Amino acid sequence: MKKNRVVILLEVGLLIALALRYAKVFNIKLLPNFEIITFMFVYITTVLNRETYHKKVNLYFLIVLFMVLGLGVPKLDWVNLIPFVTYGVIIISINLFSRKRLFLRTLYSVAVFFIVSNFLFWLFEPWQMYSKNFMGLLLCYMGALPFLKNQLISNLTASVVFSLVLSGKFFEVESERASETS
């Protein structure tokens, strides 16, 4: 039963992540960076079993497919490659944490996304919005703080909900209430 929950959550999560990503297409206004794409990368690399080579190939194919669906096919310039490079860093580095700590991995991934993506943006942005010194880097990070807040709220909420559903405790609360009323 738990394996079915993992697959169902993966499918539902991917649909939600893509819906949030493409909400603009349907004129739905969301907060900037209110998305669960970062969490879905964490979920895919944490929860799915990667013990055999065959499964690893499928896992990384799924990650690349999700990147292209969620972020689009990148143009070959540094600014458009920043999310791909950043998620690559997250996926490679995420194995530093225990597999059971989905919430901590999500928090770590959002922090890595913020630090790496803003550093790369400051380094490679062609519009010269920020000077190439420490103050320019600091201004770049400060300008991104509202986006960080929204990304933290959305990804950590998804992490808690998915963890509750995976542990089965979400369902136990419902069954306890049902038995109390009968």
Please say if the pLDDT value at position 114 is more than 90: yes
Residue 107: Cβ within 10 Å count: 17
Q: What is the pTM of this model?
A: 0.76
Highest mean pLDDT among 105-109, 135-139, 149-153, 176-180: 135-139
* 105 vs 46: CA distance, rounded Å: 8
Question: For 51-95, how does the pLDDT look when each residue is reduced to its tens digit (9 = 90+)?
Answer: 444 455 566 677 777 777 777 776 777 777 888 888 888 887 876
* Residue 173: predicted pLDDT: 41
* Domain of 91, in residue numbers: 2-181
What total of structural domains would you count in the chain? 1
